[in-house]
Amino acid sequence: MFELTSKVAIITGGGSGIGKAIAELFAKHGAQVHILELNEASAAATVDAIKANGARAWGYSCNVSDHQQTASVIGGIIGIAGRLDILVNSAGIAHVGKLENTGPQDFEKIVNVNVKGVYNVMHACIQQFKKQQGGVILNICSVAASVGIPDRFAYSMSKGAVLSMTLSVAKDYIRDKIRCNAISPARIHTAFVDGFLKTNYPGKEQEMFEKLSQTQPMGRMGTPDEVAALALYLCSDEASFITGSDYPIDGGFLKLNT
């Protein structure tokens, strides 16, 4: 089950965190993994780790907020591979702030990466999926798209847009046999979390880590590998009857918090 043998997968943000875990797991299950990353060194590190395990992967320097560059990189991948089976939009950035302390530059940066970036990548892939009459799109969303998260105004806005785009694409292309779903994690323990705590709470990292962990009813953060396992299922043939759905992976955050 869940084999992706010979399937061609594009994963944005595959150089770190959730995207890296997805890229490594998909490659382990047989996919030809193509990683799009702003940080070329991060992409190369993931590619090297995948190849070291005998699987196939390629890395590309790409700013997903640049429409022309994104189209060019993805067009090149499709031209060489000859097809495209899976797209995972994992690239994204965070922002801490309420409306009043979210400046125009902050807002625009979030929109460019988290909203326009997802649009650019899907736009570059959709014609190939239509040509093949099939394909899978998975967008990494967030619980912030569905509930109010303190001090996450711009980030929540961007993930709400990702969720809406997911539903729209699923509806518009269902007759083309293109499935489009989203995953909405709560807090996931990545290097970003550690960096955030070190920058904002020096000397109190462990205390704040525990506090953030307890916001999930399970009492801990999730792991990138747990998100990757869900992504593997949703992008596999075993999930062929699933489209237009958002899957929280949140330790009970959305339903069990009181």
Please check whether residue 251 lies inside any domain of the structure: yes
Please check whether residue 128 lies inside any domain of the structure: yes
Q: Which residues are catalytic?
A: 155
Q: What torsion, rounded to 10 degrees, do the Cα atoms 169, 170, 175, 179 define?
A: 110
Distance CA 97, CA 39 (A): 25
* Tally of domains in the chain: 1
Over residues 90-143, the pLDDT tens digits come to 999 999 999 999 999 999 999 999 999 999 999 999 999 999 999 999 999 999
User: What per-residue string of b and e applies to 173-191 under the rule 16 or more CB within 10 Å gives b?
Assistant: beeeebbbbbbbbbbbbbe
pLDDT at 196: 83
Over residues 51-101, the pLDDT tens digits come to 999 999 999 999 999 999 999 999 999 999 999 999 999 999 999 999 999
Please check whether residue 127 lies inside any domain of the structure: yes
Domain extent for 229: 8-188+223-256
Residue type at 23 in one-letter notation: A
Please check whether residue 211 lies inside any domain of the structure: no
Confidence check: pLDDT of 210 > 80 = yes
Please check whether residue 22 lies inside any domain of the structure: yes
pTM of the predicted protein model: 0.96
Confidence check: pLDDT of 161 > 90 = yes
Please check whether residue 60 lies inside any domain of the structure: yes
pLDDT at 191: 87
Please check whether residue 198 lies inside any domain of the structure: no
For residue 126, the domain's CATH number is 3.40.50.720
Confidence bin at 258 (pLDDT 50/70/90) = low
